[in-house]
Chains A and B, each alone.
Chain A
Amino acid sequence: MALLLLAAQPDAMAHTVSAPAPGCTAEHAAMGHCTMPKAEPPPPPPSPPCSPEHAAMGHCAMPAPPPSPGCPPEHAAMGHCTPGEPTTAPPPSPPVGNAPPPPAPRVDAADAIFGADAMAPVRARLYAEHGGGSISRIMLDQAEVRVGSGETTYSWDGEARFGGDIDKLVIKSEGEGAFGGAFDRGEGQLLWSRAIGPYFDLQTGLRQDVGPGPSPTYAVVGVEGLAPYWFDVEAALFLSDKGDVTARIEGSYDQRITQRLILQPAAELNFALQDVREQGIGAGLSSAELGLRLRYEIAREFAPYLGYVWEGKIGRSAQLARAVDDDPSRSSFVAGVRFWF
């Protein structure tokens, strides 16, 4: 529009608002469909519409004020800056008042126009949709083969989350077994997970062990989250249906070597308040697993890895193992894949 005005009016920079002949719009004139009245010389502008700023832009007339230091020559040359621009800060204004805010009304202005019945469900959806969504993440952090002294084994460790920002259902599972041999040990946890701070969730629920040996059920209370220095940590206390109390602390750290190559040291420590003889657990620090895995993220969601894992019984548990001629510790090379979706 402005372009056409400018094109149609040789003296367009004066921006005279000259009424076109009826039926002959600027658009049509520009197309050559009709003839616009020739622009008149600018009439003396009414004073209020011709502010200094507008005058400076060249589209209304004012007595030319001297250029000020605030208007550098290159701008002035373009006719595009404001002579007389204040060069000093405006005078300090009176302090802002401290009136109280009004009471909060309901959000319902649109009800008067479209009806409460039409608005209510849409409004409810609007609020729910902005922040109230649910998300799932199913991650198998470790799915690996362990090759070391003794037989070749497999193991897994994973977690699935379903829910919103504050409350979630969490399912955890880990376990191991020997290829061609016995399934050794597995456990599943079903937890209600609640955010208790920006980084940590409180998790409570049940754990069920499965396997050839004793398979107790436990009550679980624990925390999971991100500790300072970017450590992923989990700690849980287990109370078995036999009354035994055990605990577990896990931590890991992702050291990015490149954007895709990540070295992950990880540690798991298990404790027991008392001996649990049928499971070979002695009171105190009972077992540990230390791992170092180097993964390559082909995609964020899919990363094969190689690593080294030491696992062993410690203290009274180690004594119990030796008593039945078991090797209390084992180290293995591992190969596996981490994936999630």
Chain B
Amino acid sequence: MSGAIGRRSLLAAGGAAALVPWLPAWAQPIASGLPTVGGADIRLSIAHRMLSVDGRTSHAIGINGTIPGPLVRLKEGTTARLHVTNVLPDEDSSIHWHGLILPFHMDGVPGISFPGIAPGATFTYEFPVRQSGTYWYHSHSGLQEQMGHYGPIVIDPADPDPVAYDREHVIVLSDHSALHPHGIFKKLKQMGGYFNHNKQTLAGLIAGRDQPLNDRVAWGAMRMDPTDISDVTAAAYTYLVNGHGPADNWTGLFAAGERVRLRVINASAMTTFNIRVPELAMTVVQADGLNVRPVKVGEFQIGVAETYDVIVEPEDRAYSIIAENSDRSGMARATLAPRPGMTAPVPPLRARPLATMRDMGMGDMSMDHGAMGHGMTAPGEPMRHGMRDMKGAPSVKDTPAVQSISPMPVDRTGEPGQGLEDVADALTYRDLVALDRNPDTRVPSREMQIHLTGNMERYMWAFDGVKMNEVTAPIPFTLGERVRVTLVNDTMMTHPIHLHGHFFELVTGKGDHAPRKHTVNVQPGGKVTFDLTADAPGDWAFHCHLLYHMHAGMMQVVTVRAAEDAA
């Protein structure tokens, strides 16, 4: 390890470092123009602009003129003061600091934390910086996030960073569309499978692809489409790295022998990415901003709004960073290279995955068949009549927003995510172990279940069958209480569920070193359990971070009140 120290070199950062003298090297790469803001007073300005991706220009919303917005660089132990001006002419805006622990009224969700930022107005966010790591920020107003209103946050630790690295690159992944987000949402409402151009076909059946006939019949009986992996696909999206399309090829430079830290942020509206750097192992050192024990992987799935920091040690050659949409309809691509202009081969998209019985919540009933990658082979009654048994989920309201109830949901935190079933060295949540001991290791005093429900045909999404517009009461917590929460996914899609203002500990058998997260991907038909210490008084948003799921109603408010206040 000490051998690497001699090779550390600031010189590699080159002259660009002089422009932003207090910056590490992440922003210097040739294709990136992302500026960085820091210091005692940070000014951010939200405005319309045009974005050029792979040679095509479309309308977008930028912050300080860029997409993504500038890297907000904070320091643990200081006070952040961010003056945010909304230059949009005719709509309110906001910035939510995703994953940051702060007073609820600085959290930036209009209608929950504050009234929002009116056109022309400036709102000053001020809060103590109590953590370090990789985070991000984005609009919580309307569908602005889809239009480019997002950016990275890096908080440098007050103490020396336990992660050793010579250079860092921030990798902001996103999905950009020339379609207006309201247009995308309307298409989904009009036709749930509108963007799926990889459905099963008769031609495929004859060619022996995809499900055999009896599986197709059985899935048809249940009105379930095994190709429904992503609601919005490459048919509408170009996938970006730091605002650059695959052809733009954002390039991050390094010097051979360096330990390079990639701070990967999934700032997409709708895209679950599978990330790999072919021929280069990645060591995961941080998840959702908090350090984890290093774990070496070949690929990892990142849900929307999650972050992972990985260390790579590239040799003196170029590498492609590949982030495939989990439905394999498209990819984001960037390059890591020792010198500008170098590229590495870009592997073709892999075969798109098909949902299995496990994804329908058939759990272990499907072990035999599901393990082989194609659903059921015996279209039997036991499966069919179990598809919407409301008795299996008494807390779920029987509404049209509930297309199915997982009859046998299983804990899938040991699985790497859709499309990665066959990748042996892919990360799973069970590989994550917190580096630091958990701050609260009490046994929860109560437990609760929340069901993730949806209806792909009507494009309705909700918690417990009740869309936010029909919700009558928030989800209450008493300040300081510790609660075990189980999220049960009754749908065939992966949902990245995010709780504002808190970290929670995933219950994956890691004792007092449970991995702590702000966003958790709940796999289709599966469940995830976490322990939550409700230590942040106020009202907090709780929602699926797939933007159009949230917009369709998959959102709630969590309230945390001191015991004497609750009533």
Chain A positions near chain B (C-beta within 8 angstroms)? 1-7, 10-13, 15-17, 25, 27-28, 30-31, 49, 51, 53-54, 57-59, 74-75, 77-82, 85-86, 89-91, 93-110, 113-114, 118-119, 122-133, 135, 137, 165-166, 195-199, 226, 228-230, 255-259, 300, 340
Task: Tell me the bound Cα distance from A75 to B292 in angstroms.
Answer: 14
Q: A13-B5, A53-B436, A109-B104 are in contact. Are A165 and B203 (CB under 8 A)?
A: no
On whether the beta carbons of A1 and B156 are closer than 8 Å, the reply is: yes
Q: Which residues of B contact A122 (CB under 8 A)?
A: 92, 110-111, 115-116
B201, B283, B402: the one contacting A256 at CB < 8 Å is B201
- Docked-complex contact B202 and A256, CB < 8 angstroms: yes
Number of interface residues of B (CB under 8 A): 118
8 contacts between A and B (CB under 8 A): A1-B75, A3-B166, A4-B10, A53-B436, A93-B443, A130-B555, A131-B469, A230-B223
CB distance from B237 to the nearest CB of A (A): 16
The 8 Å CB contact of A109, one of B142, B189, B202, B537, is B537
Task: Rank and list the top 5 A-B pairs by shortest CB-CB distance, nearest first.
Answer: A131-B553, A126-B111, A90-B511, A131-B467, A15-B160
Residues of B within 8 A of A4 (CB): 10, 24
> In the assembled complex, which residues on chain A have CB atoms less than 8 Å from the CB atom of B142?
129
Within 8 A of A (CB), among B204-261: 217, 220-223
B93 smallest CB distance to A (angstroms): 12
- B477 interface residue per 8 A CB criterion: yes
Cβ–Cβ contact A97 & B443, under 8 A: yes
Q: Cα distance A69–B511 when bound, in Å? A: 19
B115/A131 in contact, CB under 8 A? no
Query: Are B191 and A129 in contact, with the CB atoms below 8 A?
Result: no
Query: Distance (Å) between the CB of A64 and the closest chain B CB?
Result: 13
Contact between A228 and B445 (Cβ–Cβ < 8 Å)?
no
A residues within 8 A CB of B436? 51, 53
CB proximity of A234 to chain B, nearest CB, Å: 15
A30, A95, A118, A198: the one contacting B402 at CB < 8 Å is A198
Contact with A along B172-214 (1 / 0, CB 8 A): 0000000000000111011100100111111100000000000
6 other contacts beyond A31-B21, A130-B554, with CB at 8 A cut-off?
A3-B168, A98-B446, A104-B473, A229-B220, A256-B200, A256-B202
Instruction: List residues of chain B with CB within 8 A of the CB of A197.
Output: 400
Which residues of B are at the interface with A, using a C-beta cutoff of 8 A? Answer: 1-2, 5, 8-10, 17-18, 21-22, 24-25, 73, 75, 92, 104-105, 109-116, 142, 156-157, 159-168, 185-187, 189-191, 194, 197-203, 217, 220-223, 283, 285, 293-294, 296, 311, 388, 400-403, 433, 435-437, 443-448, 455, 457-458, 460-462, 467-471, 473-478, 481, 484, 509-512, 537-539, 543, 550-555, 557, 559, 561, 563, 565-567
Query: Chain A residues with Cβ under 8 A from B201's Cβ?
Result: 256-259
- Neighbour of A199 across the interface among B164, B223, B461, B543, CB < 8 A: B223
Classify the interface of chain A: helix, strand, loop or mixed: loop
- Cβ–Cβ contact B471 & A199, under 8 A: no
Residue from A1, A17, A132 having most chain B Cβ neighbours under 10 A: A1
Contact of B443 with A96 in the complex, beta carbons under 8 Å: yes
User: How far is it, in angstroms, between the C-alpha of A268 and the C-alpha of B455 when the chains are bound?
Assistant: 28
A2 touches B191 (CB 8 A): no
- Report whether B553 and A130 are in contact in the complex, using a CB–CB cutoff of 8 Å: yes
- Give CA–CA (A107, B477) in the complex, Å: 12
Complex partner residue of A3 from B10, B457, B477, B512, CB under 8 angstroms: B10
| CB–CB A258/B476 < 8 A | no
Contact (Cβ within 8 A) B10 A74: no
Q: Which of B75, B110, B156, B552 contacts A126 (CB 8 A)?
A: B110
Partner of B435, one of A5, A53, A93, A165: A53
- Specify which of B111, B157, B161, B460 is in contact with A125 (CB 8 Å cutoff): B111
- Minimum CB–CB distance from A308 to chain B (whole Å) comes to 19
B474 A79 Cβ-Cβ under 8 A:
no
Contact in complex: A99, B200 (CB < 8 Å): no
Say whether B478 contacts A5, CB under 8 Å: no
Residues of A within 8 A of B161 (CB): 1-2, 5, 15, 59
B550 neighbours in A (Cβ, 8 Å)? 130
- Asked if A101 and B446 make an inter-chain contact with CB atoms under 8 angstroms apart, the answer reads yes
Cβ-defined contact, B566 with A102, below 8 A? yes
Q: Which of B159, B388, B539 is close to A198, meaning CB atoms less than 8 Å apart?
A: B388
For B539, list chain A residues within 8 Å (CB): 107-110
A206 to chain B, nearest CB (A): 24
> What are the residues of chain B within 8 A of A96 when measuring CB–CB?
443-447, 484
CB of B294 to closest CB in A, whole Å:
4
Closest to A125 in B: B111
Question: In the bound complex, what is the Cα–Cα distance between A275 and B5 (angstroms)?
Answer: 96
Q: Given the complex, which residues of A lie within 8 Å of B222, measured CB to CB?
A: 228
In the assembled complex, which residues on chain B have CB atoms less than 8 Å from the CB atom of A7? 8-10
Given contacts A6-B5, A75-B296, A229-B217, contact A166 B476 (CB under 8 A): no
List chain B residues, Cβ under 8 A from A85. Answer: 293, 433
A6 CB contacts on chain B under 8 angstroms: 5, 8, 164-166
- Inside 8 A of B163's CB, which chain A residues have their CB? 2, 57
Question: How far in angstroms is the closest Cβ of chain A from B552?
Answer: 6
Decide: A130 and B551 in contact? CB cutoff 8 A: yes
In the docked arrangement, what's the CA distance between A229 and B222, Å? 7
Complex contact B476–A104 (CB within 8 A)? yes
CA distance in complex: A34, B311 (Å):
31
Q: Which residues of B contact A195 (CB under 8 A)?
A: 400, 458
Query: Which A residues are in CB contact (< 8 Å) with B8?
Result: 3, 6-7, 12
Shortest C-beta distance, B433 to chain A (Å), equals 7
Contact A130 B157 (CB under 8 A): no
**Smallest CB gap from B21: residue in A:** A31
Please report the C-alpha to C-alpha distance between residue A58 and residue B567 in the assembled complex, in whole angstroms. 50
Question: How far apart are the CA atoms of A90 and B271 in the complex, in Å?
Answer: 35
Q: A101-B476, A103-B566 are in contact. Are A3 and B446 (CB under 8 A)?
A: no
Inter-subunit contact A13/B186 (CB<8 Å)? no
Chain A residue numbers with a CB within 8 Å of B443 are: 93-97
Residues on B with beta carbons closer than 8 Å to the beta carbon of A2:
24, 156-157, 160-161, 163, 165, 168
Measured in the bound complex, the distance between the Cα atoms of B286 and A145 in whole Å is 64
Q: Which residues of chain A are near B543, meaning CB under 8 Å?
A: 130
Q: How far is the CA of A98 from the CA of B476 in the complex (A)?
A: 15
Q: Which residue of B lies closest to A14 (CB)?
A: B160
Contact in complex: A256, B199 (CB < 8 Å): yes
Closest to A93 in B: B443
Q: How far is the CB of B394 from chain A (nearest CB, A)?
A: 15
- The interface residues of chain A lying within 8 Å CB-to-CB of B164 are 6, 13, 57-58, 79-80
Instruction: List residues of chain B with CB within 8 A of the CB of A77.
Output: 1
Report how far A265 CA is from B226 CA in the complex, Å. 23
Which residue on A lies nearest to B567, using beta carbons? A103
A107→B474 contact, CB < 8 A: yes
B-side contacts of A97, CB under 8 Å: 443-447
Contacts of A128 in B (CB 8 A): 469
How far, in angstroms, from A3 to B7 measured CA to CA in the complex? Answer: 12
Nearest chain B CB to A209 CB, angstrom units:
29
The answer to whether A165 and B458 have CB atoms under 8 Å apart is: yes
Question: How far is B410's CA from A130's CA once the two chains are assembled, in angstroms?
Answer: 29
The chain A residue sitting closest to B116, CB to CB, is: A122
List A contacts of B110 (CB < 8 A): 122, 125-126
Given A110-B105, A165-B400, A228-B222, are A30 and B10 also a contact pair (CB < 8 Å)? yes
CA distance A301 to B540 in the complex (A): 40
